[in-house]
Amino acid sequence: MAKPAVAHIIGSGIAGIAAAIRLAQKGYAVTVFEANAYPGGKLSEFQLGEYRFDAGPSLFTLPHLVEELFLLCGETPEEHFPYLKKDESCRYFWEDGTRLTAHAEPEAFASEAERVLGEPAAHTLEHIALAKKQYEATSGFFLERSLHDWRTYARPEVLKTLAAVPSLGLTSTMDRIHRKQFQTDKMVQLFNRYATFNGSSPYQAPGTLCMIPHLEFGVGTFLPKRGMVDITNSLVALAQRQGVVFRFGERVTAIRYASNRALGLTLESGEETQADVVVSNMDVTPTYRRLLPALKAPEKTLRQERSSSAFIFYWGVRKRFPELNLHNILFSEDYPGEFKALFDTKELFPDPTVYINITSKDIPGEAPQDGENWFVMVNAPADYGQDWDALRAQVRASVLAKVERVLGVDVAPLIEVEDYLDPPRIQSRTSSDRGALYGSSSNSTMAAFLRHPNRGPLKNLYVCGGSAHPGGGIPLCLLSGKIVGEAVPQA
């Protein structure tokens, strides 16, 4: 009996797990090699005393991309991956005392924005409709297919995209479109924040990214009932039921190749593997620099501006805050200045926008009865050698001061347990180049086309994950794994 074709995957980020499941369904004997002792990359978890924290991504949209992996394997998604839909997408706070709840239902959100901000409801509904139009016109072309395969351009979806070009904002920026659409500065700032969903600046990113709010207001905001880490855990368990083998604590040091074909991997232990297909779920920069150092690298791609990173504090807070929900934003008073610092001077802004995620609002047992698990994040530049130890003290003080000004509470004495994540730690734990969360930024019209393709430089080498097409974030990484799964031939 012939041996099955072998596929080896480097990294167990969410894209690598998705690709593993799809290749197993195609008949491959799949092994995933992961340098860490745990799967998921950024999508992992940890415990501090009585408080549980998701380490990385905190926003869950497009749940059907997870569900379709269970369906592909003939399983019922809700039996393995329960989640809930939120009736709020976010709560917004400004220092002048303004507070706005963004209801998930567009009409309710528009009505509330009119009541609180004075922004006509029609303006909000028109913009949400534009986001939907942009998303539906481009997702089949830009997100779900390889931009580097000629067959993509022969599909019917291209005609839909071309017909919608006038509405895509290709020659404008998100900020300019928002300023034209809305009459209140606060509503402009609220919609500008969606640029951070892929680590970009609303003052540079193309107007096409105005589609991002459709994920919240057109599809919805969701939360896995066992925490964000359950996306990782449930898919790893699904992969294992399909025969996928995970080898944790196994660092890959090289991709071996000859005659333009990958032969297998070299591990830190010295072991050499043999494979018919190799998939790198590692950031493309270390994939070339560390694993393929003798191969000519696509320097134009690797030199693209890095996306923003993050400074995250994990605080176990011994108090409950009814004014907060799952997702909360405390806005900076100078949004343009914040993004100028992030992308121009590569500094942490002294008055950062603060995001607070609290899963204990919805999931019992995440924190003590009289406490909450605060995931507190500010946008940070990628790592260019800044003094991160000094910056940690600076940003912690800035965050605490912001919270006290906006919520009227000194949180510092309420913090029982604490940890942090900064760009160097992100790079160390996930091999993300310079600690950037989304690979390259989307601060140009051509950014989508300059991402690394899902086919690698060798005939049987493929690339998936946040630094490759179509980009970073859970939904796009799942799509990246899907594109690779569909590109690899049947075993």
Express each pLDDT in 186-217 by its tens digit. Answer: 999 999 999 999 999 999 999 989 999 999 99
Q: How many CB atoms within 10 Å of residue 107?
A: 12
The yes-or-no verdict on residue 1 having pLDDT over 80 is: no
d(CA 441, CA 307) in angstroms, rounded, equals 4
Q: Which amino acid is at 75?
A: E
The yes-or-no verdict on residue 101 having pLDDT over 50 is: yes
Please count the CA atoms within 13 angstroms of the CA of 278 that sit on its side-chain side: 27
**For residues 380-405, average pLDDT:** 97
Q: For residue 145, what pLDDT is reported?
A: 58
pLDDT classification of 445: cutoffs 50, 70, 90: confident
Ranges of each domain in the chain: 6-84+228-304+443-487, 108-220, 308-437
What percent of the chain is predicted at pLDDT more than 70? 93
pLDDT classification of 150: cutoffs 50, 70, 90: very low
- Name the β-bridge partners of 415: 317
**For residues 338-342, average pLDDT:** 98
Torsion angle, alpha carbons of 33, 36, 42, 45, to 10: 120
Tokens of 434: 């310079």
The yes-or-no verdict on residue 160 having pLDDT over 60 is: no
The yes-or-no verdict on residue 330 having pLDDT over 80 is: yes
> φ and ψ at 34, to 5 degrees?
-125, 125
CATH of 6-84+228-304+443-487, one of 3.50.50.60, 3.40.640.10, 3.20.20.60, 1.10.3720.10: 3.50.50.60
The yes-or-no verdict on residue 239 having pLDDT over 60 is: yes
The yes-or-no verdict on residue 142 having pLDDT over 70 is: no
Q: For residue 400, what pLDDT is reported?
A: 98
Structural contact between residues 136 and 105, judged by C-beta atoms closer than 8 angstroms: no
**For residues 96-101, average pLDDT:** 98
Angle of the 121-138 helix axis to the 185-192 helix axis, nearest 10: 20
Q: Which residue has the tokens 């640029």?
A: 195
- Name the β-bridge partners of 452: 468
Q: For residue 447, what pLDDT is reported?
A: 72
Give the list of residues 6+ apart from residue 139 with CB closer than 8 angstroms, or none. none
Angle of the 474-487 helix axis to the 64-72 helix axis, nearest 10: 30
The yes-or-no verdict on residue 34 having pLDDT over 80 is: yes
Q: Does domain 108-220 have CATH number 1.10.405?
A: yes
Please count the CA atoms within 13 angstroms of the CA of 182 that sit on its side-chain side: 26
Predicted confidence (pLDDT) per residue in 447-476, tens digit: 766 789 999 999 999 999 999 999 899 999
What does R_g of the chain's alpha carbons equal in angstroms? Answer: 22
d(CA 417, CA 318) in angstroms, rounded, equals 10
Average pLDDT across the chain, whole number? 94
3-state SS record for the chain: CCCCCEEEEECCCHHHHHHHHHHHHCCCEEEEEECCCCCCCCCCEEEECCEEEECCCCCECCCHHHHHHHHHCCCCHHHHCCEEECCEEEEEECCCCCEEEEECCHHHHHHHHHHHHCCCHHHHHHHHHHHHHHHHHHHHHHHCCCCCCHHHHHCCHHHHHHHCHHHCCCCCEHHHHHHHHCCCHHHHHHHHHHHHHHCCCCCCCEHHHHHCCHHHHHHCCEEECCCCHHHHHHHHHHHHHCCCEEEECCCEEEEEEECCEEEEEEECCCCECCCCEEEECCCHHHHHHHHCCCCCCCHHHHCCCECCEEEEEEEEECCCCCCCCCEEEECCCCHHHHHHHHHHHCCCCCCCCEEEECHHHCCCCCCCCCCEEEEEEEEECCCCCCCHHHHHHHHHHHHHHHHHHHHCCCCHHHEEEEEEECHHHHHHHHCCHHHCCCCECCCCCCHHHHCECCECCCCCEEECCCCECCCCCHHHHHHHHHHHHHHCCCC
Q: For residue 380, what pLDDT is reported?
A: 97
**For residues 20-32, average pLDDT:** 98
Tokens of 31: 């092994």
